[in-house]
Chains A and B, each alone.
Chain A
Amino acid sequence: MPKMTNSTAYEEKRTSEVTQLGAEKTVYRYEYAPEVLETFENVHPEKDYWVTLNADEFTSLCPITNQPDFATLIINYIPDLRMVESKSLKLYLFSFMNSGEFHEDVVNKIGKDLAVLMSPKYLEVVGLFYPRGNISIHPTFSFHNGEAKYEEIEKYRFMNRNINPQRIG
């Protein structure tokens, strides 16, 4: 029974932390809106674990031609005290819909926003953009919190990124 009490307390706390999830009316923003991002508490901060978020419906506009771009975004992170709430992430990613963004810039922008939001131990954002002019661009952003272990992870993953070049996506 005490476990039930703890669980309920946690659920109540988590519910109070987020406003988008379960909202009766969802407001979709079509211009860059980092303020919609929300976090909730990581209740297992003593344990390092990976969280992967795949976003197959990312779209923005080319800042020069205004033509739409599309991508799958893959976000991998090791949480510290806060974690990104996935509905707010969905709304945040949709908000790029009418924003003019270069592929390399937008991946860095998203990575920096998430790093500021969550202060994770480690974070990376990979953008698999659809080809334009027969060329697809796949930028990768990475971040670590300064601790030696996560710096080592970033260094390892950075140095081994696409070490055997091949077509991906």
Chain B
Amino acid sequence: MALGTVDIIEHTHIEYMTPELLFLGKSGQPYRGTVYIHFISEGKSIDLLDLKKYITSLRSCTFMAENIAYEIYSKINMVLEVDTLGVIVDLSARGGIQQRIQFGENFEPAKKQHVFQIP
């Protein structure tokens, strides 16, 4: 599915977060993760309904866990084309090992359960 975009003011710093990533690992085991997306707008952002549908569509897709950040990055980069785009995925532990996968620009994700949470 293609992501739509919306027009917004340039130079706006945008960070999206969802703790509802689910995809299938190579073994068929479902993987859970939290996705952080950050970029500085060059006049466009992603349509959020499309982003939700895209993230949901990954439930039935199989990836190497290490490639999941690149998958999301490349999908967004196809429509935004900003140099500042970065994607971080924190995966739930498997075999006692936690993984953070990052692709594109590095950034420090804001860790909040909800927007009203005091840091």
A interface residues, Cβ below 8 angstroms from B: 26-28, 56-57, 59, 67-68, 70, 94, 97, 130
Contacts and interface: CB of A to CB of B under 8 A. Distances in A.
Given A56-B92, A57-B92, A97-B59, A68 B32 contact: no
A130 B19 contact: yes
A130 B114 CA distance: 11
A6 to B, nearest CB: 29
B20 A26 contact: no
A67 B56 contact: yes
Contacts, number: 34
B56 A57 contact: no
B56 A59 contact: no
Nearest to B113: A169
Interface of B: 19-20, 22, 24, 27-30, 32, 56, 59, 92
A57 B59 CA distance: 13
A68 B56 contact: yes
Given A59-B32, A70-B22, 17 more contacts: A26-B28, A26-B29, A28-B24, A28-B28, A28-B30, A56-B92, A57-B30, A57-B32, A57-B92, A59-B22, A59-B30, A59-B59, A68-B20, A68-B59, A70-B20, A94-B30, A130-B20
Contact of B30 (A27, A67, A97): A97
A57 B30 CA distance: 9
